[in-house]
Amino acid sequence: MSGVNLSGIVKQYWGYDTLRPLQARAMDCVIENRDSLVVLPTGGGKSLCFQAPALAMDGLAVVISPLISLMKDQVGALRAVGVAAGCINSSMTGASRRETHQALQSGTLKLLYVAPERVVQPAFIEYLKKLRLSFIAVDEAHCISQWGHDFRPEYRALECLRGAIPGIALHCYTATATPHVQTDICASMGLRSPEIVIGSFVRPNLIYSTERRTKLLEQVLEVIGRHQGESGIIYCITRKKVDELCAQLRAHGLSALPYHAGLDASKREEHQEAFSREGAEIIVATVAFGMGIDKPDVRYVVHTGMPKSIEHYQQESGRAGRDGLDAECRLFYSGSDFQLWKTIMGDEEGASSGVALTKLNDMYSYCTGMRCRHQVLTSYFGERLEKSNCGACDICLGSADLAPDGLTIAQKILSCIVRLGELAGPSYTTLILTGSREPRVVEKRHDKLSTWGLLREIKAPLVRDWIEQLAEQEYVRKQGEYNILEVTERGRDLLRGVGAPRLSAPGGLKKSVARTAARGVSAKGWGQAERELFEALRALRREIAAERHAPALTVFGDLALRDMVLRRPVNKTQFLEVAGVGEKKCRDYADLFLPVIREHQERMQDENA
């Protein structure tokens, strides 16, 4: 690369010592004016891919971004590290508009954030053409595709950019991995033999687990209890559930706020801001929440019901741990969620199609399944996970918690399916196995079957899970709209005693979940002293953020605070070595943070003396 010192720029402004490998590749494309499509998971560091080159290049980079809140946060974060960035949007006052205009005319601005609907206005395009542009970056580029999970009509209009400003390179960024969406973006935007940079979607810092929903409030409180003082998102399927759970959490003295489409726009914005700025620790939300959220230190994401697809789950749970530190993704599910989604989707036109149902089914198998969660999530997007034990999900951490007599249990279930003539679904089969005397069972004289009550000592939900686990391991197949169970060839082998099915032990999941939780805590490996210092630094950050009406992240992320705890810098030179401390932040904050660290050190020495 021709003498451009990108690492130097990144160190000077952002305070990071190294570029991630794919960031470097993505940045090269920008510097060399080659069109690109960059697909990195949430937290992969996409913003830096265009922000750092914008500083290295002559002229102005135009960044297209879908939401005002997102724009504001990004511009705020850039200014906080000393980058000349601005935005133009409908919520601005005349004065700040003039200010941006002046900065543009004088050529001092390096990055300009604009909404898609504005950038395509002919007058605005003419305006841009008179400026010296370095490149155009399209953030959240999947919004252009109908196949993406967040299609936005205003993004479609971006198709005209290539023709309107032909000489300028286009760079698109997204976290949506499906190949369909990727080709769609390249075609719609008219990218010219783009360099395609695709990152791994494996997020080893996210610890995944699922659990059947029993006493939801207790289950949720248990997760929160492990993350005191940390930020978390709790997703619910319906608005009603959001309001109800949020009220319950508040009654427990927790600082939780609701977020859903039923609240008016200003309330939603207010709650989102409170969450970003650490005025509230917990946000209880429907899936309406998330797109505009750019908070790197979300330490847990809880789903109180099953999401409607694995794509959705990956997206929503992926909002945890963007800073790369450990975070917990917990999913509470129940068979009734499946029905609820069917009802909800039934109301949406065409959504109850085969595709949507298949996605629901895949999601349900994920919930009840016994395959490594990371394995399922990544293979869904066509990526192979090499490790056989991820060490970061309930299945891998709890692999000792399998039922010791899996083969016998499986044989009981399979023979029951055969006795029912392979004509019944999972729920009915469960009734027979657990020895139900429901009228429909008695009427059909199924209580006289030899397999009736074979598993009567086991609770029905577990038997139901076992059936799903057998389906996932392809010992049985679910057919048609009613999921009629059939025994597969593999299943017939099992009946002959050949094979080793993996079925969860009664109560086993509880143990593995406990282990999952333990990993979250032990990874930090902190004692009381470290925790206290961290809390003191967080309190200071909160104070500064509140005073300046800025998101906490424009002060420092958790990553920087943790590095401070680790390094205990005593002077400015050492402060500058902390990850996430660039030159401007060192100037702005060293005098505020160093005394807190020093004071803590002195107190520790006194206590040890």
Using CB under 5 A as the criterion, which residues of the chain lie in contact with Zn ion when the complex forms? 372, 374, 390, 393, 396
Residue with tokens 């940045």: 27
19 forms part of the interface with ligand ADP (CB under 6 A): yes
Type of residue found at 447? D
CA distances from 462 to 91, 388, 477, 487, 586 (A): 53, 26, 19, 19, 55
Question: What is the spatial distance between Cα 403 and Cα 458, in angstroms, rounded to a whole number?
Answer: 12
DSSP string, 314-337: HHHHTTS-TTSS-EEEEEEE-HHH
128 forms part of the interface with ligand ADP (CB under 6 A): no
Q: Which does 40 bind (CB under 5 to 8 A by kind): ligand ADP, Zn ion, none?
A: ligand ADP
Q: Which does 19 bind (CB under 5 to 8 A by kind): Zn ion, ligand ADP, none?
A: ligand ADP
Type of residue found at 247? A
Q: Which region among 1-9, 16-24, 182-190, 484-492 touches ligand ADP (by CB under 6 A)?
A: 16-24
Please report which helix (H) or strand (E) contains residue 235, including its range: strand 231-235
In three-state secondary structure terms, 164 is helix
Q: Where are the alpha helices (DSSP H) in 381-476?
A: 394-397, 406-419, 426-433, 439-443, 460-472
**Other residues' Cβ atoms within 10 Å of the Cβ of residue 124:** 14
Tokens for 227, please give them.
């993350």
CB 391, min distance to Zn ion, A:
7
Q: Which does 396 bind (CB under 5 to 8 A by kind): ligand ADP, Zn ion, none?
A: Zn ion
φ/ψ of residue 296, rounded to 5: -80, -20
Which residue lies nearer to ligand ADP by CB, 508 or 580?
A: 580
Q: Which does 393 bind (CB under 5 to 8 A by kind): ligand ADP, Zn ion, none?
A: Zn ion
One residue of 86, 116, 148, 296 binding ligand ADP per CB under 6 A: 296
Q: Which region among 35-43, 203-211, 306-314, 472-480 touches ligand ADP (by CB under 6 A)?
A: 35-43
Which residue lies nearer to Zn ion by CB, 277 or 374?
A: 374
Beta strands, E only, 46-205: 60-64, 85-88, 111-114, 133-138, 170-174, 195-198
Nearest residue relative to ligand ADP (C-beta): 45
What residues contact 238, with CB distance under 8 A and at least 6 apart?
286, 340
Residue among 186, 223, 184, 179 nearest 201 (CA): 179
Which residue lies nearer to Zn ion by CB, 37 or 393?
A: 393
CB 393, min distance to Zn ion, A:
3
Q: How far is CA 551 from the centre of its chain?
A: 20
Which residue lies nearer to ligand ADP by CB, 49 or 471?
A: 49
Q: Which region among 36-44, 119-127, 409-417, 447-455 touches ligand ADP (by CB under 6 A)?
A: 36-44
Q: Give burial (CB, 10 Å; 0-12/13-18/19+) of 421.
A: exposed
562 forms part of the interface with ligand ADP (CB under 6 A): no
Which residue lies nearer to ligand ADP by CB, 36 or 512?
A: 36
Q: Which does 333 bind (CB under 5 to 8 A by kind): Zn ion, ligand ADP, none?
A: none
Which residue lies nearer to ligand ADP by CB, 213 or 277?
A: 277
CB 75, min distance to ligand ADP, A:
14
Q: Sign of torsion, CA 421 426 427 431? A: positive
Please work out the total of residues on this chain that contact ligand ADP, with binding judged by CB under 6 A.
Answer: 17
16 forms part of the interface with ligand ADP (CB under 6 A): yes
Q: Which does 318 bind (CB under 5 to 8 A by kind): Zn ion, ligand ADP, none?
A: none
Q: Can you count the helices (H) and strands (E) in the chain?
A: 29, 15
Q: Sign of torsion, CA 449 450 456 459? A: negative
One residue of 241, 322, 541, 562 binding ligand ADP per CB under 6 A: 322
CB 365, min distance to Zn ion, A:
15
Which residue lies nearer to ligand ADP by CB, 69 or 304?
A: 69
Site for ligand ADP in 40-79 (CB under 6 A): 40, 42-48
CB 4, min distance to Zn ion, A:
40
Which residue lies nearer to ligand ADP by CB, 254 or 329?
A: 329
The residue ranges that bind ligand ADP (CB under 6 A) are 16, 18-20, 23, 40, 42-48, 296, 322-323, 557
